[in-house]
Amino acid sequence: MERPAPLIIVMKTMTPVGILGFRGYSGAELIQILSRHPHAEPVLLEHREAEDRPRPLGKSGPRRIEFSPESVKAAGLAAVFLATPPDVSMNFSGWLLEAGIKVIDLSGAFRLGTAENYQRWYKEPHTAAALLPEAVYGLPEFCRSRVATARLLSNPGCYPTAANLAIRPLVAAGAIDRTHGIVCDAKSGVSGAGRTPSLKTSFCEVTENFSAYSILDHRHVPEVLNTSGIEENEFSFTAHLIPIDRGILETIYFRASEKIASAEDLVKIYQEQYSNEPFVRIYPPGQVPDVHAVAHTNFCDIGLKYDARTRRAVIVSAIDNLGKGAAGQAVQNFNLMMGYAETAGLL
């Protein structure tokens, strides 16, 4: 009798990637995404005192190592996600890059291009200015080729992601009468403020409330100006805090140029721009998204209404601030940097 063929088990090689700042909301989201990623093994990087550490994740959770040059090198990390405040990202990015490790930074440390811009909008000096020329701003829909070759990736802010995906194609197509300006009314869930306790984000302050903040000087404004190619005097942005845990919805108002005759004209511009994009969904004319449509996803949904008589247009752009606005987009960028399928771990 013929013997059965031997059973051959093929072990998949996983790429170890570190997460610094895994206790925050974006860091926790990174753990969830990378734990289901087909090619990545999340490694949690400890850099706090023992008394600050949370309960163990259990035997099935990701492994943890001390965050030091020696342990990071021994772990063979290919990349590190920095889900940390800007000052922490500036402190650690340099030696990680010197060790040959790719860096995906979720803070605003490297988004604005120059130390002068950072000082103006973040009200603090930049302590790693030498790295700014190398940092690639990672909004994949507009700079995919640069992301693919980046060593230091600056993940966009949540508000600018939703705004730029809605505004930039229309500016490039000449669809906006810029003499009338652009108004962006943005609303975000409480997780966008981070996990550090504060009076502003406490339950009693947030529940049954709706408030505006950082009026006329929000640090995300320059990201919209730089990416969409508009001037500061053309753009009015106001951020609001709403009592939901996650999600961003932006309502964008402008006067269309004379070349726009109908809502279909605006939708066509978006369809031509995003026809091959896996994470941008365009709604039919007259339909608009809400936060539930994008919760726990890496999608940006865009819909609009248009009044041809007055040429007034209203665009609604929705994302999950922890997904496409933070961790999801960071993994999308990581996939491009590593040569994986762009959607790996995200669909």
Q: Three-state SS for 124?
A: coil
C-alpha span between 300 and 166 (Å, rounded):
9
Q: State the residue for tokens 């550490």.
A: 53
Residue 318: both structure tokens together: 């929705």
C-alpha span between 19 and 83 (Å, rounded):
7
What does DSSP assign to residue 192? G
Give, in order, the Cα–Cα distances in Å from 273 to each of 165, 167, 276.
Answer: 10, 12, 8
Other C-beta atoms closer than 10 Å to the C-beta of 138 total: 26
C-alpha span between 336 and 138 (Å, rounded):
10
Per annotation, catalytic residue among 158, 184, 204, 300: 158
> What long-range pairs does 43-47 form, CB within 8 A, spacing at least 24?
43/16, 43/17, 43/18, 43/19, 43/75, 43/77, 44/18, 44/19, 45/18, 45/19, 45/20, 45/72, 45/80, 47/20
List b or e across 229-245, with b for residues whose CB sees 16 or more CB atoms inside 10 angstroms: ebeeebbebebebbebe
With beta carbons less than 8 A apart as the criterion, state whether 295 and 143 touch: no
Radius of gyration over every alpha carbon of the chain, rounded to an integer in angstroms:
21
Is 300 a residue of the active site? no
Helix axes 115-122, 221-228, angle to 10 degrees: 140
Residues designated as active site: 158
